[in-house]
A and B are shown apart, each in its own frame.
Chain A
């Protein structure tokens, strides 16, 4: 096992453990904090793939901004584990069955994909994830989808302002 494999497996273990903790935590604030740990582990994977820009943007946007807003809402709602409504056992069962089906479909999809079969992830090589190359690709080859998605963001912003305006 070389260094990269050790890093990969410990990051994966961290990601899976934190993801499980998100689900089993009784307190919603703890769940959000574990979710932030998941984002950290995934950012670590991005760095292993030499996608530094993606890694740091994942941290700034998801862990740094969106999760803070999540925390705001949860802290102000003052949820207690006692006040939480009890869920029926058959609802839990239905959840397990449908989630399991989804997992089976996903795994079979990955297994069948021809472009993935017999290939290993490119660790520490490839420089498309570096900011210069990524920027060039976004603003030359993919400029139309990029601009359209920015219009989407703008409309979301306008919507937020309109809703937030009191009158």
Chain B
């Protein structure tokens, strides 16, 4: 069985892993929409969705069903192919990030050692940046193809915001990479897991805050949700969209949130590391399961933080957004990078 000289079992293993991770992210995203509404309700002192199923737990399914059953409308003046391509690209780019995130250490099944990471590539975190910069096209294509002034304005806003904040994010990231000396997320997590090592947040508190703010802007979350500012732009770049195409845009935002939480957890909070526990003393399969749970817990905490901020802080004005990005975050990130570099040089003597 050497057809095409490929390791077909490895291929199958990776395909199953991809399927599990994609469906799990979609499932978590489904319930993130529900918890978003619940958290909003708690913060605004009202009960929130509680009709569908016990405690309203079936609400996301009802929402999804509603979106699917709605009529698909493609405006006559829209550019048809691109109108469909927009949400598809947004969703694809959001899901592609999961390929380089180390979800846990490896498990042993049927005598094979299976890494719970789809691809440990040499460029690791840069791949995430590449995919994120592709996600901008989902918004831009959708906004333009709708042939609507408000959609186009929102798309332009979204793209310029994403480009501006990607810079500060990249510079904040460089400081972490200088400490770890590797681009691979797996290596970065392993270094934080090593006995006696601290999480990167200890060395990079300012870097983490910058990264977090930029991640919030990249995900178009309030206070950075200018592309969907409903009181200025009706509804934003997805105004002309209906049914599941709209659902894809909304869903892609939640998948993006999950993925950026996972990246932040891996970069700054030890990934699948459990604090004060030496994983190497446990059986590998148990350690892997504990690792997954630990990473999921960190992701859920980040998601809650995203929601908390969304329902607490009002939206920026556009000029404030640009001022914050270019005049505060980028200089701070540069200072942080220089200081980190200086300390590393000083330690090396």
Please report A residues at the B interface, Cβ cutoff 8 Å: 2-3, 6, 27, 29-30, 33, 36, 52-53, 55-57, 59-60, 63-65, 68, 71-72, 75-76, 130-131
20 A-B pairs within 8 Å (CB atoms) are namely A3-B4, A3-B5, A6-B4, A30-B82, A33-B82, A36-B137, A52-B122, A53-B122, A55-B123, A56-B129, A60-B133, A65-B133, A68-B133, A68-B136, A68-B137, A71-B140, A71-B144, A72-B156, A72-B159, A131-B123
The one of B130, B140, B155 in contact with A56, judged by C-beta atoms closer than 8 angstroms, is B130
Q: A53-B126, A56-B127 are in contact. Are A63 and B4 (CB under 8 A)?
A: no
The one of A2, A33, A64 in contact with B5, judged by C-beta atoms closer than 8 angstroms, is A2
Interface size band for B: 20 to 34
Q: A2-B4, A68-B163, A131-B183 are in contact. Are A56 and B123 (CB under 8 A)?
A: yes
Cα distance A106–B163 when bound, in Å? Answer: 36
Nearest Cβ on chain A to B267's Cβ, whole angstroms = 17
Is B73 interfacial (CB 8 A cutoff)?
no
What 0/1 pattern do residues 68 to 92 of B give for CB contact below 8 A with A? 0000000000010010000000000
Which A residues touch B6, using CB under 8 A? Answer: 3
Q: Please, which residue of chain A has its CB at the minimum distance from the CB of B140? A: A71
Is B141 interfacial (CB 8 A cutoff)?
yes
Interface of B is mostly: helix
Is A64 touching B159 in the complex (CB atoms < 8 A)? no
Q: Please, which residue of chain A has its CB at the minimum distance from the CB of B145? A: A29
Which B residues touch A64, using CB under 8 A? Answer: 129-130, 133-134, 136
Which A residues touch B4, using CB under 8 A? Answer: 2-3, 6
Which B residues touch A36, using CB under 8 A? Answer: 137
Nearest Cβ on chain B to A35's Cβ, whole angstroms = 12
Cα distance A68–B135 when bound, in Å? Answer: 11
Which B residues touch A59, using CB under 8 A? Answer: 130, 133-134
Q: Please, which residue of chain A has its CB at the minimum distance from the CB of B134? A: A64
Which B residues touch A2, using CB under 8 A? Answer: 4-5
Nearest Cβ on chain A to B100's Cβ, whole angstroms = 11
The one of A30, A65, A76 in contact with B163, judged by C-beta atoms closer than 8 angstroms, is A65
Cα distance A27–B136 when bound, in Å? Answer: 20
